[in-house]
Amino acid sequence: MDYLQIEGPTKLSGSVEIAGAKNAALPLIAMTLLASNEVTINNIPNVVDIKTLLKLLENLGATVDIKNNSVKVDTCCLTNTKATYDIVKTMRASILVLGPLLARFGHCEVSLPGGCAIGQRPIDLHLKALEQMGAEISIEAGYVLAKAPNGLKGAHIVFDKITVTGTANIVMAAALAKGKTIITNAALEPEVVQLCQVLKSSGISIDGIGTTELIIYGTDRRLVEIAPFSVIPDRIEAGTYLCAAAITNSEVTVKKVRADHLEALISKLEQMGFTLDITPDTITLKPAKQIKAIDVTTQEFPGFPTDMQAQFLTLCTQATGVSIIEERLFENRFMHVSELQRLGASIKLKGNSATIAGKIDLVGADVMATDLRASSALVLAALVAEGTTNVHRIYHLDRGYEGLEKKLQKLGAKIKRLKE
């Protein structure tokens, strides 16, 4: 197994290019199940989660041709509609094939994803919405068995909670359903917006894109022709590098980004004392005279993203004063706290709230990654910790960050990948 060895403290400088968004690419790859043609997707991030979903599609009988950061997916001649446990268990986002498979074939079997390190993560809202659209759903031997022999029908779906993959799944199901589907309380995340935009430019009529109410007019199982497109930049990868610049109090430019997807984060960094220079596709973070403590509450987009909570909490260990971070989306997303405490961080946890006292001089140690964003948070801590930090179990990192150590090396970090 690989691990990362990082020598700190260090300053960073220069620029880093941001890859395509993993969480946009995943639903867009699932969307190829709705296409009548071979679909070309550009700016695909080279990360393990993407390979996992492509493998799942190959298992269904799709042909996949991946070159550099482009992939061509042809789902014309699928041979089966069963997403098996061995793949689904490794990546919850596999559930994204449920809506499109059911809408296209009228039946499918998808393994239940189960819980994960950050919380229970049920899929009840996906299933309830599909039932409203006429699906018959049962759970047998760990699989969701879904049937809609006469096809799915449009319905008015009101999500009890905002769900990102839930919204994506139902948008895709609605695209091939019969009639009009209204989704109230839809997710506003840029990744959902891009899915809707690509479907719209492929001829699916969708109103309300980027609002909490989406109206989708389905094709009654007619597949759509999807032209080549590029995945939007990864706002969480960009945010992570901005936090790397901030925690080391260095000047760094992130390139190929969309600042309008990062407003909540930019505002918090400014409140902490950093200056941010923004152009249409770059953000430069400039050092603060003194890093100020801050309060953050995670929320759905356009609020502060839960996927940046671990990195920001780590940054707060280097701010002067007491910061409070409240996690509103996932009940167990503080696994990084005990690892940060091994480096000397002063953090108190109470329920879904973390109180961080700073500034603390962190000291290098062996730490273990527990999930994707917690892993990147530990790398950020290691950049400022005195001495050597070894971050173990970095397979989590490889799921969602393209070439993290290479990008950080280019910025001047002393980081290398080693074998246990």
Site residues for ligand EPZ per CB under 6 A: 23, 26, 93, 119, 121-126, 161, 163-166, 306-307, 329-330, 372-373, 400
Q: How far is the CB of 356 from ligand EPZ (least distance, A)?
A: 21
Nearer to ligand EPZ, 250 or 298 (CB): 298
Give yes or no for a contact between 120 and 331, defined as CB atoms under 8 angstroms apart.
Answer: yes
114-122 contacts at long range (C-beta below 8 A, 24 or more positions apart): 114/89, 116/92, 116/371, 117/332, 117/335, 117/370, 117/371, 117/374, 118/330, 118/332, 118/333, 118/335, 118/371, 119/330, 119/331, 119/332, 119/333, 120/331, 121/92, 121/330
Q: How far is the CB of 96 from ligand EPZ (least distance, A)?
A: 7
- Facing residues of 374 across strands? none
Q: How far is the CB of 12 from ligand EPZ (least distance, A)?
A: 23
116 is annotated as an active-site residue: yes
Nearer to ligand EPZ, 24 or 415 (CB): 24
Query: How far is the C-alpha of 157 from the C-alpha of 137, rounded, in Å?
Result: 17
Q: How far is the CB of 22 from ligand EPZ (least distance, A)?
A: 6
How many other C-beta atoms lie within 10 A of the C-beta of residue 149?
9
Nearer to ligand EPZ, 332 or 388 (CB): 332
Q: How far is the CB of 115 from ligand EPZ (least distance, A)?
A: 10
Q: In the numeric block, which tokens belong to residue 405?
A: 């150590």
Q: Of 76, 77, 108, 116, which one is the catalytic site residue?
A: 116
- Facing residues of 182 across strands? 156, 215
Q: How far is the CB of 163 from ligand EPZ (least distance, A)?
A: 3
Nearer to ligand EPZ, 50 or 204 (CB): 50
Q: Quick one: which of 249, 252, 255, 251 has its CA closest to 272?
A: 249
Q: Quick one: which of 53, 147, 46 has its CA closest to 96?
A: 53
Q: Quick one: which of 185, 189, 146, 182 has its CA closest to 165?
A: 189
Nearer to ligand EPZ, 112 or 182 (CB): 112
59-65 contacts at long range (C-beta below 8 A, 24 or more positions apart): 59/83, 59/84, 59/87, 60/97, 60/101, 62/32, 63/38
Query: How far is the C-alpha of 329 from the C-alpha of 420, rounded, in Å?
Result: 34
Nearer to ligand EPZ, 105 or 304 (CB): 304
Nearer to ligand EPZ, 126 or 407 (CB): 126
**Catalytic annotation, residues:** 116
